[in-house]
A and B are shown apart, each in its own frame.
Chain A
Amino acid sequence: MAGLSLASYTARRAALGLVQVLAVVTLVFLLVQALPGDAAVALAGDNPDPARIAQIRAVMGLDRPAPERFAEWLIGLPRLDFGVSLVSGRPVAEFLFGGVGPTVVLAALTLVLLLPISVLVGVLAALREGSLLDRALTSVSVALHSIPEFALAVVLIAVFGVQLAWLPPTAVGADLFAQPAVLVLPLVVLLARPICSISRLVRAGMVDALASDYVRHARRLGLGETRIRFAHALPNALAPAVQQVARTTDWLLGGVIVVEAVFVIPGLGTVLVDAVAARDLPVVQGLAVVFAVTTVAVNLLADLVAFRLAPRAEVVA
């Protein structure tokens, strides 16, 4: 790592990221092309009169060669022009903008709750390693982690939304900021599994760190136990968890389709499902750009954070 400054490392990673984004977009284009049927067939639906399909195709410009349409779309990209939805004629940017709001609100709130809770749980379990508390936390974690999101969502809605009527069962038609209560159940569902996986990693990291040579050395030097635990052991313990937080962030920013569908949150996942079903290629491509950029950015950020937390760790470009 000697000689490689953080700035030039970041620049190199960003350039690589750009190539990755382009690769993803091209791949998505090819994959959607490979799907059976196009936007005209999907729109014609149960009225698949071939003459009508041909007409829709002409109106949408689908009768032009695919490479030509792709090239045209790519040229607009540097100007942040994502093109126009085939089906509705509205700009793709409008779809992305509309979907980003709910997805980012959910992701941000989840992370704000996730980080302190999972670190706290992990550290507590590690400090009381083998105790009743540790075993209880472990059992609950493993049990929660094994429940898929949609199953948990269905049960929570049935109990707290419908039976007890404590919380709104869905976010249908709601403004997420004006009625924050609609976010409670989705947040619980989104938090359940990441809390388990991240707190397990923090616990393992903390147990290792507390048993390490440098912690023993610090103790011999007579440093306070609190300082040893939180200033020396914890940062090292967090490094492995950072990668998992990055993966979780990426997952959340991709729009968790199941959660969005069950709770009726019109985020990016819903936009994606609708666009793929309609074969609305420009919208799918626009989403691919957004997802690829977030993945690259989040992982870069995670590597930088991990590097800062535990500078010994090798950062692989």
Chain B
Amino acid sequence: MPLNRRGFLGLTTGLTVVTLAGCGSGAAPASSTPRTGGRLRAAFAGGGAKEVLDPHLANLFVEAARSKAMFDKLADLGGDVSPQPRLAEKWEPSADLTRWRITLRKAAFHDGRPVRAQDVLASYARILDPNRAFRAKSSLTLIDLPNSRAVDDRTVEFALKRPFVEFPNALAAFGAYIVPEGAEDFSKPVGSGAFSFVSFEPGRSVLLKRNADYWEGAPLLDELEFVIANEESARTNALLGGQVEYAHDLTPTTARSHASGDRMTIHRAPNSAVQAFAMKLDRPPFDNRDLREALFLLADRPQLVESVLAGSGQVGNDLFGKGYQHYAGDLPQRERDVDKAKFLIRKAGAEGLVVKLDTSTAAAGMVEAATVFADQAKGSGLTIEVAQGNKDTYWADTLKNGSLSSFRSGAMPIETHIAQRLLKGAGTNVTKWARPEFDALYEKAVSTSDQAARADAYREMQRMQHTEGGYLMWGFADWIVGAKPNVGGISTAPANTLDWARFDKVWLG
């Protein structure tokens, strides 16, 4: 494993604390009864230039967490990554699934104005503005806005361009927040969320205070401060030094060295980030199905999880969304079978072939995983050569170029994963999977209200992916958060879902 600076920093802090752990007097239990009051400081990675308070522009984790504290969506994703009603009290589709009537909860913005149907329509109109490029746009683009209307102050009727049973997924899309009608200046944001805005210093901190009138009940904390520390070691040190109470996104190495200490508690959110290799089906050599299967069989998944994720994760079965709604958990778990892989490589006439595996440090662990996998393929007849690319442009580069690349994705509904990555003409189809029969199954799944038929279609699509798809999904990484032992109420729901980085349920003991 190449030891970069980040790795070295992590290692050194890790070592120091291991030596310290012995001095501890046993972990103090997190207080189990919720208490009110106090200021929680949460350290996130940031990026000065990108930090904005406009919730529709949210892109980084820190921006998502801040948006969630100050704003609400109509729906958000639950622990099984299925949509849960939020500002929407309920949704009722028409029989043909093209009109959706949504009843809003009785909620108010921080300035006292009620959240109205007009605010919802204005927020979505802003996201869908053809002259702008908000992230939620692609999810909401199936709304026929001119034909949607406010029935009354608390009822919206959305017209869709096509029947879509998974419309609540769109309401829960990343960045689809409801802002007051006409809001454009977000220097002092006004939302309907559990915390209201106090102050903002770009690149350094955002201070929020509790919204006593929050529709779901006031938060327990008096104040919530987001601070920025880009280096993981700095977030860890700040937590150990008592400068923050919550440190987001720690490495498995840090988690391992602090798991038994009394200075921080490690919170793991399983099934948060899928770790994979993507093979492109539209070009040699992986247009050959046998070769794809050979790669599936060469991966030693438990070893990858143990080494790359330091054990903080679970093995994958070449399918997205383990544990999520619609996941085909009954398909047999793929195991390493070198003999069969060798046979398939010979059968494909690929003996002696050298394949370039593109990777980069754009996501944690990708380079390490590529290196370990290249090692696992040794002696199979196929040689994998790891090529490290530019991290800032990695995702755009590997969407177009190469034939094999490292891949990673956060949580999203399985339907969204399919729509964005596996349909012909999907915007981020990195494996270049394009099957008319697969697209037809998707159409069937999202346009029928027959639950059983939908479940069958999802299962069949996943079976196709499992048998001959281009994603070698070898593992699911835990999302790791560190907190002071006196912090209670931290959820272990996957990153990107409602309960991840949600601070209105958190308390200081």
* Nearest B-chain residue to A165, judged by Cβ: B241
Residues of A within 8 A of B135 (CB): 47, 52
Alpha-carbon gap, A265 to B233, bound state (A): 14
Cβ-defined contact, B204 with A154, below 8 A: no
Cβ-defined contact, B241 with A98, below 8 A: no
Beyond A98-B202, A163-B16, A264-B231, whether A169 also contacts B393 by CB under 8 A is: no
Within 8 A of B (CB), among A78-122: 85, 87-90, 94-95, 98-99
A41 lies within 8 A of chain B by Cβ: yes
Alpha-carbon gap, A155 to B237, bound state (A): 12
Chain A interface mostly: helix
Give me the 3 closest cross-chain CB pairs, A-B, nearest first. A49-B427, A37-B393, A173-B227
Cβ-defined contact, A162 with B240, below 8 A: yes
Q: Hey, what's the 0/1 contact readout for B361-396 against A, CB within 8 Å counting as 1?
A: 011000000000000000000000000001011011
Within 8 A of B (CB), among A31-90: 35-37, 41-53, 55-56, 58-59, 85, 87-90
Cβ-defined contact, A173 with B244, below 8 A: yes
Cβ-defined contact, A44 with B237, below 8 A: no
Alpha-carbon gap, A87 to B225, bound state (A): 24
Q: Using a CB–CB distance below 8 Å, which chain A residues touch chain B?
A: 35-37, 41-53, 55-56, 58-59, 85, 87-90, 94-95, 98-99, 150, 154-155, 157-159, 161-163, 165, 168-170, 172-174, 261-264, 266, 270-271, 273-275, 277-280, 283
B113 lies within 8 A of chain A by Cβ: no
Residues of A within 8 A of B142 (CB): none
Beyond A46-B362, A48-B395, whether A274 also contacts B50 by CB under 8 A is: yes
Cβ-defined contact, B229 with A154, below 8 A: no
Q: Using a CB–CB distance below 8 Å, which chain B residues touch chain A?
A: 5, 9, 12-13, 16-17, 20, 41, 43, 47-52, 59, 131-133, 135, 137-138, 201-205, 225, 227-231, 233-235, 237-238, 240-244, 362-363, 390, 392-393, 395-397, 399, 408-409, 420, 427-428
Residues of A within 8 A of B225 (CB): 173
* Nearest A-chain residue to B201, judged by Cβ: A98
| 25 pairs, A vs B, C-beta closer than 8 Å | A37-B397, A43-B50, A46-B363, A47-B428, A49-B420, A50-B399, A51-B427, A87-B49, A88-B49, A150-B9, A158-B13, A162-B237, A169-B238, A169-B240, A169-B241, A169-B243, A170-B241, A173-B43, A173-B204, A173-B244, A261-B230, A262-B9, A266-B48, A266-B203, A270-B48
Residues of B within 8 A of A270 (CB): 48, 203, 230
Chain B interface mostly: mixed
Cβ-defined contact, A95 with B427, below 8 A: no
Interface core residue of A158, A162, A173, A174 (most chain B CB under 10 Å): A173
